Structure 1
């Protein structure tokens, strides 16, 4: 039986044509996690893959880009940044929407505060700093040559982000929210030139990393590259720190690992990044405000899909509670 969002018959045909060693008899299950794209564990009984496809229902422009996700994972292979092996990319003719297939990377994903309970305080702090070091390594990848170079246009990235997320807000909002309008106006009026050009993950947080079960400071793969591009590295850092705000917790059913008080605070993470990367955090208030703006719009988009009945899995009922507090936090951060 096909799970929601997949046609196993069509997938079987695709795998036979495009995946070497596929044995037939495909089965799939929806994995936990993922507030946006749908993620499945796919197997033929021997090999295991991960399939990612856009969410059900109406999609917002430029979001949920499977081609983008696949191209970045492919381009970063061998770069020293841990990614899953890229396997195949399908166009909409197979199941009605594009999807990306990667190899399955076994490991631990820390989604909730309960997931953190298995580790000591020292292990958690070391893991948080290892993630920041991995972010710095991503931002050190040369974006002027090779496969990465053609994956985006860094110049004007910040201006495009301000415009794009406000446009998204207008498409997905379920309410009027004065703080969003004020925050957008403040970002629009203060948008700086990019500090540098790098690969930007676009959704960097602890639960978008697969960790070694024996040593959580070893990151086996970064996942969820649907918003990756070339742009300002400080946008990634600011977003990573904003995910630590308790206002984000309702997006992950009220218990997000990223918001745990057991993790280092934003100031410590920034200090570690600066020491590792050698970058300065210029225009930091703008970057922090933009990060909260983006998360608030994403939360509202997930909430809107949930109201329409287009989400699958548990934990969506509380997401809409995050939008207004995140917008308020963004206003405070952008002062």
Structure 2
């Protein structure tokens, strides 16, 4: 297992700052989750930076509990109610997500809102190089991921009852405004490239040509693959999902091909042919084929935007770590990553005319 996989895979004892009343959970599950009565055990997943996530054993079955973190939170962040709603609707439409069992928005139960869903058996790959996977399977894993995102973008939100899940148009301008505000709310020191991006991005945003359900954080380690085949059995972590521009969603994942290892475990400088991981061109072509597009325009803008957004998210994780309520110990290391991300984002902005 690679160092990345070792750091994030599996569970650990619940961190003191993220403990809750297990007796209260047992009572809630007995009333709301069929067959989950009796004693339970709770452990915290190692992975995850935003909403703390726990494995719960109860009544001979395994569940996952995901909750808002305790403490003071940024406005509109950690929306577990939205995660629950979108996964429930998508699951009923046949999209690969865990079965949802219940949402509790009463903070008197565990201190913060939470939901419970099935634990899905399978493989989570934290290292995008897939070092523990046979060479022949790597291309199939990336193709399955590509097909899954294209399938998500093909849903009609109105048909799924998600027509009011967000504003369908002007997604990127709203995201720029939101993450500029969130970044400033969690800023711990001045970063010149972030300030330049905040000034430049709004007027440079391209017109949105389609609207879809967007995941918002679609990447390899936010999905579970079947134990013995390159099949996505569950897509996780829908906290940032809404209605919006599917190209923003796709190019967020495509950043993997444009970033170096030290910024995002990226593919720059990696011999992808040797690993049997698709090239950027072939990955883009597969998505375009599946979504009926001829090409993807203005990629430099999209990379600048997505790296800016990621830097703002990482700054929020780091800021929470300074307050003691981030869900992963590595969060404290994130502070040093923000400026390199922002500087790199500005190189794409310059190529796009910034």
TM-score by length of 1: 0.91
Q: Indicate whether 1:306 and 2:321 are aligned.
A: yes
Alpha-carbon distance in structure 1 between the residues aligned to 2:170 and 2:91: 27
Mapped contact 2:317–2:334 kept (Cα < 8 A): yes
Mapped contact 1:207–1:258 kept (Cα < 8 A): no
Mapped contact 2:251–2:303 kept (Cα < 8 A): yes
Alpha-carbon distance in structure 2 between the residues aligned to 1:149 and 1:181: 34
Alpha-carbon distance in structure 2 between the residues aligned to 1:236 and 1:111: 19
Count matched residues: 329
State the partner residue of 1:63. 77
Alpha-carbon distance in structure 1 between the residues aligned to 2:266 and 2:59: 32
Alpha-carbon distance in structure 2 between the residues aligned to 1:150 and 1:207: 28
Cα distance change of structure 1 residues 293 and 110 upon mapping to structure 2, 3 Å threshold:
same
The C-alpha deviation readout for 1:124-157, integer Å capped at 9, x for no partner, is 1221121011100000011232322232221222
Deviation at residue 311 of structure 1 after TM alignment: 2.5
Q: Which runs of 4+ in 1 moved over 6 A?
A: 257-260
State the partner residue of 2:338. 323
Counterpart of 2:188 (choices 171, 174, 183) is: 174
Alpha-carbon distance in structure 1 between the residues aligned to 2:242 and 2:215: 7
Q: Indicate whether 1:108 and 2:132 are aligned.
A: no
Deviation at residue 45 of structure 1 after TM alignment: 4.6
Mapped contact 2:225–2:233 kept (Cα < 8 A): yes
User: Counterparts in 2 of 1:195-274, with a 5 A limit?
Assistant: 195-215=209-229, 217-247=230-260, 249=262, 256=265, 262=275, 263-274=277-288
Deviation at residue 2 of structure 1 after TM alignment: 7.1
Greater Cα offset, 259-268 or 280-289: 259-268
State the partner residue of 1:97. 112
Deviation at residue 224 of structure 1 after TM alignment: 0.2
Q: Indicate whether 1:160 and 2:174 are aligned.
A: yes
State the partner residue of 2:151. 137
Mapped contact 1:250–1:319 kept (Cα < 8 A): no
Greater Cα offset, 105-114 or 162-171: 105-114
Mapped contact 2:49–2:328 kept (Cα < 8 A): no
Which 5+ residue runs of structure 1 have no aligned equivalent? none
Aligned residues: CA RMSD: 2.2
Deviation at residue 93 of structure 1 after TM alignment: 2.7
The C-alpha deviation readout for 1:40-60, integer Å capped at 9, x for no partner, is 001115111111112333211
Q: Indicate whether 1:333 and 2:328 are aligned.
A: no
TM-score by length of 2: 0.86
Greater Cα offset, 17-26 or 116-125: 116-125
Deviation at residue 120 of structure 1 after TM alignment: 2.5
Alpha-carbon distance in structure 1 between the residues aligned to 2:39 and 2:266: 36
Alpha-carbon distance in structure 1 between the residues aligned to 2:35 and 2:59: 12
